[in-house]
Structure 1
Amino acid sequence: MTSLTPYLTVHDGRAAIEFYAAAFGAVETGERYEEGGRIGFAALTIDGAPLYLSDEAHEYGAWAPRSVGHATAAVALDVADVDATYVRAVTAGATADREPEDQGDERRGWLVDPFGHRWVISSPLP
């Protein structure tokens, strides 16, 4: 079996968990490792898909977008309703990047979460 799981480094793990829950319905699976007051690992799911995150740990090469000045990748999230998810994420604190629009056979919108990570939200057109 092959799987691929985004593992995001953020500047405030506790706030990130709260944001991903409010914006995307993320649920923490109960797996969390904390070290010295910071989150070394937390496992979440969004509609059953895994998402891992940790606080920055420069000594391990884990840098958040805030520290490097920009995102270095994007996370793609397929949802049932792009427009509703986009509004919910912006209301929760994301920055609108590109408003949802029809592109080919999908409706897509782009956001930047409060931790500097880019997200493309999409759903198939009927």
Structure 2
Amino acid sequence: MKIEEVFAYLCVSDAKAAIAFYRNAFGATEKFRLTEPSGRVGHAEMAFGPMTVMLSDEYPEYGIRSASAIGATPVSIHLHVDDADRMIEQALKVGATLEREAQDAFYGERSGVVRDPFGHRWLIGHHIEDVTTDEMQRRYTALMASGNPGEG
């Protein structure tokens, strides 16, 4: 038995608006959507570069609730891009909120965090240096010992 692929599947409070936001913020393209006669989006797929993210409207009758409905999300989606600062700026222009400005991080990326209008958290970063696992652990330990982990 082998795993072929893994997809993020987001539940959002307004799938039509989310599709537009992901297009405008991240340059994602809609592959297709399935819409109920009522207009509720049951399933949509978007291409984020070569990767697919699936999404749907809420289905509370089946226990499927959006991050905005529950007021939190335990998941961050990491977008690895060619220019994190520019992608973050674009997302902010179309309605994301900034959680953490882009900064150089101990793990060899420049990254920052935005939250989309639907409550999902996006860590957006680009590569700045190759870091071995041992060096990454050393830097992480030093960062945690500094008492200022938000600086990483």
Separation in structure 2 between the aligned mates of residue 103 and residue 42 of structure 1, nearest angstrom = 34
Establish whether residue 15 from structure 1 lines up as the match of residue 17 from structure 2: yes
How many residue pairs get aligned? The number is: 125
Q: Which has the higher strand share?
A: 1
Question: Which is greater in Rg?
Answer: 2
Give the one of 60, 70, 73 matched to 1:71.
73
Distance 1:120 1:52 in 2: 18
TM-score of the pair, normalised by structure 1: 0.95
Structure 1 counterpart of 2:111, one-letter code: R
After TM superposition, give the deviation of residue 65 of structure 1 in Å: 1.2
The offset of 1:72, in angstroms, is 2.5
* Contact 1:65–1:72, Cα closer than 8 Å, also in 2: no
Identity across matched positions, percent = 40
Which residue does the alignment assign to 2:58?
A: 56
Among candidates 96, 107, 111, match of residue 108 of structure 1? 111
Aligned Cα RMSD in Å? Answer: 1.0
CA distance in 1, matches of 2:94, 2:6: 26
Moved more, 111-120 or 71-80: 71-80
CA contact (8 A) 1:39 1:54 kept: yes
Letter in 1 for 2:14: D
Unaligned 5+ segments in structure 2 are 130-152
User: Secondary structure at 1:21's aligned position in 2?
Assistant: helix
Q: What runs of 5+ residues in structure 1 fail to find an aligned partner? A: none
Task: Spell out structure 1 runs of 4+ moving beyond 6 A.
Answer: none
TM-score by length of 2: 0.79
